[in-house]
Structure 1
Amino acid sequence: MAVSLGIPLIRAAEPAPAEVPQDGPLVDRYGRAHRDLRISLTDRCSLRCTYCMPVTGVPWLPKDTLLTTDELVRVAEVSASLGIVEMRLTGGEPLLRPDVVTVVRRLAAIETEAGRMRVSITTNGLALPKMMDDLVDAGLERLNVSIDTLDREKYRDLTRRDRLDDALEGIRAARASGLRPLKLNAVAMRGVNDDELRDLLRFAVEHEAELRFIEQMPLDAGHTWRRDAMVEGEEILAELRREFSLERVAGRGASPAEVFAVDGGPATVGVIASVTAPFCGACDRVRLTADGQIRNCLFAREESDLRAVLRDEALDEPGRDAAIARIIRGSIAAKRPGHGIDEPGFLQPQRPMSAIGG
């Protein structure tokens, strides 16, 4: 049994062989084709956001369990052969990985059926001023920067770090990079930043960024999430409409955000209502944790171990690649129709968001 964070993980149930396609697109039993791989580079972070991590006592993943860059790239190459065309690097804070620029460069060089691999990063932005040029040169295509509040005291209380100036400087560096669309992520929290929603949208528009409000999800390390305390997507929209006109943009596809034109455009704002308006029916994402586990859903309680295959010295390269492909296909074949948050038996994942990757 795989072990992470000191907690036994449930291994993914093996689907019957007939249920696992041996070739063709990476499609699950519900017809969803998977094209997007989220890769966690580290579970460590330079902030300690209250909705994600405890202030102390974080059980970091053992260093020897983390995938090396060569291992990570091998999984990425096999994934590309299965139809993955886009990869988003997450964490923790992905820019804390010492060789993140090398990772971006190697991933961006992978050929897919749609051309070169599209590589993006979700970051808290603190390290962007010193790394932005190198990341662009390496082939980074897009950025999502997290910014939940513009108030210094709130930022300090929320992140347990006095780094608002650094975060804002990171957003300025992202804007100056020319990478577009530039997206800003904000988790809406009752009694924390729900009085700043319109301020955050004004800020995003002024900085040529697309704001994405996110419903708070049950992924905190302390398992203290309560649905009745969550700011719902419709509440977010109602608050924004007190100042802005919003018109739904057609063509959502597999995007997690419902997007609205702001005051006729071109500025847009999105709401990711994972809890109250789940988009599971169009999900095209699969996740790789920093310690080499495949997860077919953000809220999955099962994982499939790739690290053991990557480090199995009895396998030659073709055999290893075949085993990786088989495990990924098996994980997708076992994917459930939805995340099940509204089901009576729902249990929060054992891993917190920082150890899963956003």
Structure 2
Amino acid sequence: MNTAPHTAPHTEPRRPLVDRFGRVHTDLRVSLTDRCNLRCTYCMPAEGLDWLARDSVLGDDEVVRLVRIAVERLGVRSVRLTGGEPLLRRGVVGLVGRLAALGVELSLTTNGIGLARTAAQLREAGLRRVNVSLDTLRPERFAALTRRDRIDDVFAGLAAAKAAGLDPVKINAVPVRGVNEDEIVPLVEFAVGHGYRMRFIESMPLDAQGAWERDAMVTADEILARLGERFDLVPVGRHGNAPAEEWRIAGTQAVVGVIASVTRPFCGGCDRVRLTADGQLRNCLFATEESDLRALLRGGADDDRIEAAWRTSIAGKGPGHAVNSAGFVRPERPMSAIGG
């Protein structure tokens, strides 16, 4: 539903979305739903969570309007659709088409289960890249980790994404000590063999149960040490403000990335801002406060007021996530409710 008047096109020169530390924000993460069809042990309890009421979730027109403001007035250039599991959103292909028409670089993070049936449609609608979460190649381990026997659907989704021309197709894995760290090398071999791009992410204190333990986190240094035993890695560095440090496997064009969110935080170059499925703006993944854009939308605010709220939120962004400080406070929302 379109709940507020569309104001005239913004005629003033566009100002970038800059915080008090000079960081320019051009990357928007938009959560389409907090719901998920997996129950990953490191993310949520077996019974799931209390999902958002459907009328509290932004409608398509509301999502498009907020993204349009971000693009036209705030200088956002790339949008990543997340969840929960974004492919559970009804009409997601049509929404992708509407967002792509705004001229942004559009990507999506998914668990891959719904990709086999939607990848070609998503590509035709304007999606360009996809990240698929996959922490193991072993069916029995996948079933134990996710509490669902769906690994064949993920493999099919990966293949469909590549066949559809989504490029690159990235695989995201979170190594956890005593769980799947023995698959670091096999996951890379699998990705290289199929033409996917492998990325490893340090586990973060964003699970719903609050069970995260630093000692269970496999660090970036440990990941690289294991990879170095099998591959000759050539540093590529970090592309712009991208979160992943990358290495090329010598003798190939294959690239592997590591996102060291905890041990080597990259907050000083952060260019990301997040919009939750219920319209709350978060200036940091670990933010403890949110700005309610949904209330503005549904209260009849014009684009000027929404732009001002966006700028105020970013102006208040802190220097970093403080995970490594004694005073760190976990956000109330888990990752599934924030959007990755």
Query: Which of 91, 98, 101 is residue 99 of structure 1 equivalent to?
Result: 91
Residues in 2 aligned to 1:74 and 1:135: alpha-carbon distance in whole angstroms: 20
**Residue number in structure 1 paired with 2:327:** 345
Task: Provide the secondary structure at the position in 1 that maps to 2:75.
Answer: coil
Residue 224 in structure 1 maps to residue 211 in structure 2: yes
Q: How many residues align?
A: 327
The answer to whether the 8 Å contact 1:66/1:292 transfers is yes
**Residue number in structure 1 paired with 2:69:** 78
Query: Which of 289, 292, 296 is residue 309 of structure 1 equivalent to?
Result: 296
Give the CA deviation at 1:136. 0.8
Q: What amino acid maps onto 1:30 in structure 2?
A: F
Task: Provide the secondary structure at the position in 2 that maps to 1:299.
Answer: coil
Structure 1 runs, 4 residues or longer, greater than 2 Å off: none
Residue 129 in structure 1 maps to residue 121 in structure 2: no
Task: Provide the secondary structure at the position in 2 that maps to 1:294.
Answer: strand
The answer to whether the 8 Å contact 1:37/1:286 transfers is yes
**Residue number in structure 1 paired with 2:310:** 328
Task: Provide the secondary structure at the position in 1 that maps to 2:229.
Answer: coil
The answer to whether the 8 Å contact 2:123/2:165 transfers is no
Residue 25 in structure 1 maps to residue 20 in structure 2: no
Give the CA deviation at 1:250. 3.6
What is the Cα-based RMSD across aligned positions, in Å?
1.1
Q: What amino acid maps onto 1:107 in structure 2?
A: L
Give the CA deviation at 1:282. 0.7
The Cα offsets for residues 38-59 of structure 1, whole Å up to 9 and x where unpaired, read as 0000000110111111111511
**Residue number in structure 1 paired with 2:79:** 87
The answer to whether the 8 Å contact 2:100/2:127 transfers is yes
Task: Provide the secondary structure at the position in 1 that maps to 2:109.
Answer: strand
Residues in 2 aligned to 1:23 and 1:85: alpha-carbon distance in whole angstroms: 13
Query: Which of 199, 212, 215 is residue 212 of structure 1 equivalent to?
Result: 199
Residues in 2 aligned to 1:127 and 1:299: alpha-carbon distance in whole angstroms: 28
The Cα offsets for residues 245-284 of structure 1, whole Å up to 9 and x where unpaired, read as 1111045320100000012430000000000000101110
Give the CA deviation at 1:151. 0.6
Name structure 1 gaps, 5 residues minimum.
1-21, 111-115
**Residue number in structure 1 paired with 2:47:** 56
Task: Provide the secondary structure at the position in 2 that maps to 1:195.
Answer: helix
The answer to whether the 8 Å contact 2:158/2:169 transfers is no
Residues in 2 aligned to 1:179 and 1:57: alpha-carbon distance in whole angstroms: 31
Query: Which of 294, 307, 311 is residue 281 of structure 2 equivalent to?
Result: 294
Residues in 1 aligned to 2:134 and 2:35: alpha-carbon distance in whole angstroms: 18
The answer to whether the 8 Å contact 1:43/1:92 transfers is yes
The Cα offsets for residues 211-245 of structure 1, whole Å up to 9 and x where unpaired, read as 01000000000011111221000000001111111
Q: What amino acid maps onto 2:325 in structure 1?
A: E
Normalising by structure 2, report the TM-score.
0.94
Task: Provide the secondary structure at the position in 2 that maps to 1:61.
Answer: coil
Task: Provide the secondary structure at the position in 1 that maps to 2:28.
Answer: strand
Normalising by structure 1, report the TM-score.
0.90
Moved more, 69-78 or 51-60: 51-60
Give the CA deviation at 1:161. 0.2
The answer to whether the 8 Å contact 2:115/2:157 transfers is yes
Q: Share of identical aligned residues, percent? A: 58
**Residue number in structure 1 paired with 2:6:** none
Residues in 1 aligned to 2:335 and 2:200: alpha-carbon distance in whole angstroms: 17
The answer to whether the 8 Å contact 1:285/1:297 transfers is yes
Residue 244 in structure 1 maps to residue 268 in structure 2: no
Give the CA deviation at 1:329. 0.4
Task: Provide the secondary structure at the position in 2 that maps to 1:325.
Answer: helix
Residues in 2 aligned to 1:227 and 1:144: alpha-carbon distance in whole angstroms: 25
**Residue number in structure 1 paired with 2:245:** 258
Q: What amino acid maps onto 1:29 in structure 2?
A: R
Task: Provide the secondary structure at the position in 1 that maps to 2:182.
Answer: coil
User: How do 1:181-196 residues align onto structure 2 when only pairs under 5 Å count?
Assistant: 181-196=168-183
Task: Provide the secondary structure at the position in 1 that maps to 2:325.
Answer: coil
Residues in 2 aligned to 1:56 and 1:250: alpha-carbon distance in whole angstroms: 41
Give the CA deviation at 1:348. 1.1
**Residue number in structure 1 paired with 2:9:** none
